Amino acid sequence: MRILVAGGGGFIGGHLVKSLLDDGHDVRSVDQKPLTDWYQVHEAAENVIADLQSLEACRESVNGIEWVYNLAADMGGMGFIENNKALCMLSVLINTHLLQASNDAAVTRFFFASSACVYAADKQTDPNVTALAEEDAYPAMPEDGYGWEKLFSERMCRHFSEDFGLETRVARYHNVYGPNGTWRGGREKAPAAISRKIAEAKSSGDHEIEVWGDGLQTRSFMYIDDCVEGTKALMHSVTTEPLNIGSAELISINDLTDMVAKIAGIEITRNHDLTAPQGVRGRNSDNTLILEKLGWEPTIGLQEGMKATYRWIAEERQKLGLPSD
């Protein structure tokens, strides 16, 4: 098929483009960043630089396209989304204009990458959280800024399906991590940030690690390969309701830090910054519905995924000429 990946220069988008190319599809990858800033550039794809907040850019991007995967958004880790709520909200323009353009161009199927940040905050106040099921998004109380944009965009997909017949699929991603992603600069998520800090500690000999919050907050983290496989499975399914795509393996930030330190072969001391952004106290994925609908859930364990992630970040540091082990 002729497929558009919006946000193809991003972390998840770059991996998805590669997988779709490997499957034999004709892929147009669109991102607003210069090619030098793309996480991955695949020569076999049609790589286009365009700002998809513009309706005209969306119309040009969907021309001749059968399926659309929309992963384009202005986002990052907790430090970014808590301090850039307006920028996160402006991503609503991307999904709105892509839906309009896709419907007008007779695109046959449209995927939207939503987030676990749509879930009600009052269900995430305890580190020993009950895993979040899809029904827990309502009554609506999502994360301010980023979460509201995602929930609104989910509704846009639903109503474009109801009113215009555009087939849509929605995935609620839970903390995707892995190689070829952001690992420094302020937009990185916890697995990458912790891996970077421990790689720095190992090379410097100073094994004191800064941890945001008390470290008791819990999360589940999904490896990028599982994310791509789940995304494609959902897109090919008949399921029209939003689905969690996330691991059900819950871990505290303290334990994640200790896991990476063990992978690196060092012992660390945690220095807790209680003033830093830390998000909700607990978040985990209930995979009951995805197992029922797709017969699938993520299978790559956190230990395996973090080994690959830490190794990749250590190699990236070496490429940049930064001190290594």
Report how far Cα 87 is from the mean position of its chain's Cα atoms.
Answer: 17
Burial class (CB in 10 A: 0-12, 13-18, 19+), 310: buried
Q: Residue 207's pLDDT is what?
A: 95
Residues 6 or more apart whose CB falls under 8 angstroms from that of 289 comprise 133, 134, 241, 243, 244
Confirm if 177 and 192 have CB atoms less than 8 A apart: yes
Catalytic residue positions, numbered? 146
CA distance 211 to 206: 15
b/e code 37-70 from CB counts within 10 Å (16+ = b): ebbbbbeebebbebebbeeebbbebbeebbbbbb
pTM, two decimals, is 0.94
Domains of the chain: 2-176+222-245 (3.40.50.720), 179-219+249-283+301-319 (3.90.25.10)
Instruction: Kindly give the confidence (pLDDT) of every residue in the chain, 325 residues in length, as a single tens digit, with 9 standing for 90 and above.
Output: 999 999 999 999 999 999 999 999 999 999 999 999 999 999 999 999 999 999 999 999 999 999 999 999 987 777 787 888 999 899 999 999 999 999 999 999 999 999 999 999 899 999 999 999 999 999 999 999 999 999 999 999 999 999 999 999 999 999 999 999 999 988 888 999 999 999 999 999 999 999 999 999 999 999 999 999 999 999 999 999 999 999 999 999 999 999 999 999 999 999 999 998 878 899 999 999 999 999 999 999 999 999 999 999 999 999 998 875 5
b/e code 77-110 from CB counts within 10 Å (16+ = b): bbbbbbebbebbbebbbbbbbbbbbbbebebebb
